[in-house]
Amino acid sequence: MQFGIAIFPEKEVQDAANSWRVRHDPHYCHIPPHMTLREAEDWSDEQLQQAIQQIEAVAGQTAPFQVTFNRVSTFFPVSPVLYYALEDPAPVIRLHEAICSGPLAIAQSQYVYTPHVTIGQKMTEGELHDLHGKLKISQIHFTSHIDRVHLLYQTDQGAWTAYQSFQLQGSPTTNP
């Protein structure tokens, strides 16, 4: 079974992202707007249990935090993805690094981890540049409180749903 780990921003961010995703993201119907902490992969039952223990440990040591989305950016030319970018990605990067250690360590990543909320993907180059140009001049300012991590699984129909959620319980001085 495919599993992945993500955090979901607050409703205001999801609503704004979905207003673009409905037309520009073929994954719109499969998963709400989110920030991926660990890419999806097939896990055995043993790997799933190890993942749950790792996420529980990290959540117990990580305090809830705020993030601010302040602009639209793109991964072009590497990938035709348009996304809401974070003003300060450090808290999400630290959470990603803590999650992706121990039994969830990633041997070799194909890219530098960049936390974001996708608003468009698999677009043509022209469509990407047109939409990026329009959104680049827009005022983007969304703040979201992050207080939990979600272990997700993919259903037989291709949708992603929560397998288990983990409340961030650390104090502000214990963030990894």
Residue 95's region, left for phi above 0, alpha for psi from -120 to 50, else beta, is alpha
Annotation says 116 is catalytic: yes
Burial per residue of 87-126, b for 16 or more beta-carbon CB atoms within 10 angstroms, e otherwise: eebebbbebbebbbeeebeeeeeeeebbbbbbbbbebeee
Scan for tokens 């450090």, then name that residue.
Answer: 90
Q: Which of 116, 132, 141, 145 is catalytic?
A: 116
Q: Which of 24, 34, 96, 150 is catalytic?
A: 34
Q: What is the token pair recorded at 93?
A: 């990067």
Annotation says 129 is catalytic: no
Q: Which residues are catalytic?
A: 34, 116
